[in-house]
Amino acid sequence: MNSITPLLQGLDLACIRDDRSLFSELSFVLGAGEVLLLEGENGSGKTSLLRILCGFREPDAGQVSWCGGAISTSAYRANMAFVGHLDGVKKELTVLENLRVALALGQGNGGSLDAALARVNLAGYQDVLISALSAGQKRRLSLARLLVTAKCLWILDEPFTSLDKQGIQLTEQLMSEHCAQGGMIVLTSHHPIQLTHGAVQRISLSSCL
């Protein structure tokens, strides 16, 4: 991917919830190797914007495009991965089984599942049920799901939730590596991020009214 070629674009986006405008006239362009950090007070529309970018809901005005086309296409879904407030893991399955489910739902990148678990400090947990994991371990498993699928756009809602200092540093490192490889990230966070790679754009939704 060309680092100066726009891939994800939002144009004049607006969102209304319960007859209240959360944001309006919001525009951005995100290219390969770039990060879009969404900031703002609780209730300012950060999660709503992520849902729009994922295609889970339509904007009340404006449009989102991927490589100049609609995000309703299979090409967009094949390139986008979302991790929300919930970890998105199945509690009745083991750690390794959850990664296999992630592979079944999306194109794999050829990497080892065991290596992905080791990368997020879950080596040796392959056969452990999700119900036995701590909140931080479940969060790190959600990161491992990103590592085993070939998705260039990561959309992350508060990815540092439940993580300790080491977990936060690990997440930042994984994000930096993703950007260094030409990946793109859109995230919300109350935590100041520190990346070694990735040009960070910031949008405060509290000012987009």
- Distance, in Å, from the CA atom of 121 to the CA atom of 139, rounded to the nearest integer, reads 11
Residue 4 has pLDDT above 50, yes or no: no
Q: With 0-12 CB in 10 A as exposed, 13-18 as middle and 19+ as buried, what is 196?
A: exposed
Long-range own/partner contacts, residues 111-114 (CB < 8 A, 24 or more apart): 111/147, 111/148, 113/148
Cβ–Cβ < 8 Å for 178, 110: no
Residue 117 has pLDDT above 60, yes or no: yes
pLDDT at 185: 97
Tens digits of per-residue pLDDT, 120-160?
A: 999 999 999 999 999 999 999 999 999 998 899 999 999 99
Tens digits of per-residue pLDDT, 169-190?
A: 999 999 999 999 999 999 998 8
User: Taking the complete model, does pTM exceed 0.85, yes or no?
Assistant: yes
pLDDT at 205: 87
Q: Which residue has the higher pLDDT, 63 or 89?
A: 63
pLDDT at 159: 92
Domains and CATH numbers, the chain: 6-207 (3.40.50.300)
Per DSSP bridges, beta strands 34-39 and 184-188 are parallel
pLDDT at 2: 43
Q: Which two tokens stand for residue 167?
A: 């977990």
